[in-house]
Chains A and B, each alone.
Chain A
């Protein structure tokens, strides 16, 4: 038995190296095919990573809704003290936490942001009202949060109570749309991979038609004839996936700078990050499987013509 295994292994190794040699012998053709495959895999991977990162950030926001309560400012006696007002709000069972941001703190935060410093310096006085950030006790319950915001707004001393959920909902919808797009794109690219491999293998069969005919004639099994083409399909996809991993991370690196500048403007710690080895491995496995399937299908179609008729 060990001898059979070693024969089997040596046969496969031989085909593997023979196929690698063939790829190496036509470097330009191989490189172009591998690049096409890599691009087909890069596009969905980059988009996936963006959606994935966006989702983790927005999920965090949606899970923790906040109501911004802007108090009336001034020295009028009717205007309550913001800190006292906050204490009073905490007694409401629908409210979990209240955080006070004074006009001075608000101004300082603004002046830390790009482009605001000069504008703030030009102001004669601090225009910001005192702000209470209210965390509802109802969690993700959107309707309850909206009701609470309405209640807060009609309270004495409150200028406006803003529940800034709408843009988050819009963002979530956009993320959802992109995610659907990624799935559709990945499917289309999968079909693309199958077509590219089918075509590559078909050309390989044409180039080796004489060899196939002779091998068939001297008693080579269909598995024997099929083997180098299966390896060719799998290897193209393997290198394509490897390349795609690199290109994807390079693309993400190029996007990282502008994205972090953009997210800073939204006061977010959003980061794109890298494609994890797990995802890269999954993409490689799917791609190699598609390559094997496509080459198997293509060779079998040719082999049907070799059957004695």
Chain B
């Protein structure tokens, strides 16, 4: 599903965030991406969500070479990727359901279908009763779950999460992780960047470990 071959990313400032990273993630896999801060976790996720382009090497997602995508194909590709951010990135002037419906609205989904899928996604994360609320009135954990509902409402093939539990207490963090596991069971490929090693011990899954922009453990076969 996701394949990195000898991927390096150097920012215009000269900082090399990733060097010669190669790995393959199978469709429907569940993988943690670990490493200290600044190891290149966020950069790796941004290469998959096509917020950044690799300086060298190839990133293939669902057999698409991301560096070849241009214009509206970038937008179309991003609709197949759900992203959860540490800081939620919710729009505070819109209700919870309007936030969650955004990926469907930009995709031009019909109104009835949109409503149905937004309710389903909110139900899944347990926030159906707060659909009309504004994000600011919700707790941190609830806001994160709104972010997750938005990430999955478009039925993505890949779900990316950048430190999704970074600001949450352990009980809430476990709840969130359970949610990701549930989505994984419906064949979504999940990749979660975290430095919370508790999860690694509990959940059996693949691990990619980064250090100073290099892959120090994980699949290297690409």
Residues of chain A touching chain B, judged by Cβ–Cβ distance below 8 Å, are 7, 11, 210-211, 213-224, 307-309
Partner of B49, one of A210, A217, A220: A217
A275 to chain B, nearest CB (A): 40
Complex Cα spacing A220 to B154, Å: 12
Asked if B52 contacts A308 (CB within 8 A), the reply is yes
Question: Given A210-B91, A222-B71, A222-B75, are A308 and B107 neighbors across the interface (CB < 8 Å)?
Answer: no
Closest chain B residue to A215 by CB distance? B106
Complex Cα spacing A134 to B53, Å: 86
Question: Given A308-B52, A308-B74, are A215 and B108 neighbors across the interface (CB < 8 Å)?
Answer: no
Whether B124 is near chain A, meaning CB under 8 Å from some CB there, is: no
> For A210, what are the chain B residues with a Cβ–Cβ distance below 8 Å?
89, 91
Partner of B78, one of A211, A217, A307, A309: A217
Asked if B51 contacts A219 (CB within 8 A), the reply is no
Closest chain B residue to A10 by CB distance? B111
Asked if A218 contacts B53 (CB within 8 A), the reply is no
Whether B102 is near chain A, meaning CB under 8 Å from some CB there, is: yes
Whether B136 is near chain A, meaning CB under 8 Å from some CB there, is: no
Main secondary structure of the interface of A (DSSP, over half): helix
Whether B72 is near chain A, meaning CB under 8 Å from some CB there, is: yes
Asked if A219 contacts B89 (CB within 8 A), the reply is no
Give the total number of A-B pairs whose CB atoms are below 8 A apart: 57
Question: Given A210-B91, A214-B91, A308-B74, are A221 and B49 neighbors across the interface (CB < 8 Å)?
Answer: no
A299 to chain B, nearest CB (A): 15
B residues 71-102 near A (Cβ < 8 Å) are 71-72, 74-79, 81, 83, 89, 91, 102
Whether B25 is near chain A, meaning CB under 8 Å from some CB there, is: no
B69 to chain A, nearest CB (A): 9
Closest chain B residue to A210 by CB distance? B91
Closest chain B residue to A14 by CB distance? B105
Closest chain B residue to A213 by CB distance? B89
Question: Given A7-B108, A210-B91, are A219 and B76 neighbors across the interface (CB < 8 Å)?
Answer: yes
Asked if B71 contacts A218 (CB within 8 A), the reply is no
Given contact pairs A11-B108, A216-B78, a sample of 14 additional A-B residue pairs in the complex whose CB atoms are under 8 Å apart: A7-B110, A214-B102, A217-B51, A217-B89, A218-B83, A218-B150, A219-B75, A219-B107, A222-B71, A222-B75, A224-B75, A308-B50, A308-B52, A309-B12
A131 to chain B, nearest CB (A): 79
> For A308, what are the chain B residues with a Cβ–Cβ distance below 8 Å?
50-53, 74
Complex Cα spacing A224 to B109, Å: 13
Asked if A219 contacts B79 (CB within 8 A), the reply is yes
Complex Cα spacing A76 to B187, Å: 123
Query: Can you list 9 residue pairs at the A/B interface with Cβ under 8 Å?
Result: A210-B91, A211-B91, A217-B83, A218-B150, A219-B75, A219-B107, A222-B72, A307-B74, A309-B53
B48 to chain A, nearest CB (A): 11
B167 to chain A, nearest CB (A): 18
| Binary contact track B184-202/A, C-beta < 8 Å → 1, others 0 | 0000000000000000000
Whether B164 is near chain A, meaning CB under 8 Å from some CB there, is: no
> For B12, what are the chain A residues with a Cβ–Cβ distance below 8 Å?
309
Closest chain A residue to B49 by CB distance? A217
> For B106, what are the chain A residues with a Cβ–Cβ distance below 8 Å?
215, 218-221, 224
> For B40, what are the chain A residues with a Cβ–Cβ distance below 8 Å?
none
Whether B103 is near chain A, meaning CB under 8 Å from some CB there, is: yes
Residue of A218, A221, A223 most packed against chain B (CB within 10 A) = A218
Complex Cα spacing A214 to B154, Å: 14
B114 to chain A, nearest CB (A): 12
Asked if B78 contacts A218 (CB within 8 A), the reply is yes
> For B89, what are the chain A residues with a Cβ–Cβ distance below 8 Å?
210, 213-214, 217
Residue of A210, A214, A216, A219 most packed against chain B (CB within 10 A) = A219
Complex Cα spacing A269 to B149, Å: 74
> For B107, what are the chain A residues with a Cβ–Cβ distance below 8 Å?
219
> For A218, what are the chain B residues with a Cβ–Cβ distance below 8 Å?
78-79, 83, 102-103, 106, 150, 154
